[in-house]
Amino acid sequence: MLPSYKSVLQPFPLLILGLGISLFWYWRRHPEQRKALRWPGLFYTLLLIDCLPLTAHMTAGTLERWFPRIYPRPENVTAIVVLGGGILPPASAGKPTRPHQHSLQRALRAAELYHEGPPCPVISSGGKPRPEDAGDCVAVAMAHVLRQAGIRDEDLIIEDVSRNTVENAIESARWLKAHGIDKNVLLVTSATHLPRSELMFRAQGIAVIPAGCEYIGDDMPPNLELLLPKTSAVVANHQAWYEFWGLIRLWLTGR
């Protein structure tokens, strides 16, 4: 199926494709400059590859296939841990702190799983990267969503100390072990984040059941639009490369 004209006539694909056409036109018209165009051409090729949904389908898809979706909620779940994915700071004094889209999707997925079985503890995990930042931390912002989604206050635990995934695992494991829980814990986060976070929780002695959300492949239908530059592909590739680097760093340093 060919991409629709509406998909092609967007500012971003037009910009990327126009840049490529301009480079090719200059290369054809100025043979004496072809040697000098090698590096700009290489840079453009790498940029184009990073903008393609097909690339994101391979990079993010590789991570997402580690832990496919789980439906329905497994039996004997002892707790749910949902990892923060950022916040939107208050627009001005007195305005609320809102969860970033990643945090919102993770919180909603955790609420779905909570309601699919008997009530259990739900740990909302994530502090402030910088203590001086205005507003609430990510755990508190997600907790508002979790309450609105029907999770009981007595089941909601706010872990507001951690600043990254390693600390998410350490602080959540501390609470779980203090309450005699070390297995059958649902770990809720973005699908591309699951491979790295699962390893970190396992290193803390917690046997988690990975429960992903935000599967990027869902937004990439198998047609020729996979070859059309899109901003969503740039974002997806950025997430994937970040997670691949995180896995390499985890292998090298243990963190």
Q: Are residues 205 and 83 in the same domain?
A: yes
Q: Are residues 146 and 131 in the same domain?
A: yes
Q: Are residues 193 and 229 in the same domain?
A: no
Across all residues in the chain, what is the average pLDDT? Answer: 91
Domain of residue 39: give its range: 5-65+218-253
pLDDT in the model for residue 83: 98
pLDDT in the model for residue 219: 64
Is residue 132 assigned to a domain? yes
Q: Are residues 14 and 51 in the same domain?
A: yes
Is residue 210 assigned to a domain? yes
Instruction: Extract the tokens encoding 183.
Output: 């297995």
- In total, how many domains does the chain have? 2
pLDDT in the model for residue 41: 93
Greatest Cα pair distance, the chain, in angstroms, is: 74
Residue 35 vs residues 41, 104, 189, 247: alpha-carbon distances, Å: 10, 49, 47, 38
Is residue 112 assigned to a domain? yes
Is residue 74 assigned to a domain? no
Asked whether the predicted pLDDT for residue 221 surpasses 70, the reply is no
Give pLDDT tens digits for 18-76: 999 999 999 999 988 888 999 999 999 999 999 999 999 999 999 999 998 998 999 99
112 touches 94 (CB < 8 A): no
- Domain holding 188: CATH number? 3.40.50.620
pLDDT in the model for residue 14: 87
pLDDT in the model for residue 5: 53
Which of residues 199 and 128 earns the better pLDDT score? 199
Q: Are residues 127 and 189 in the same domain?
A: yes
pLDDT in the model for residue 11: 84
Confidence of residue 94 (pLDDT cuts 50, 70, 90): confident
pLDDT in the model for residue 130: 80
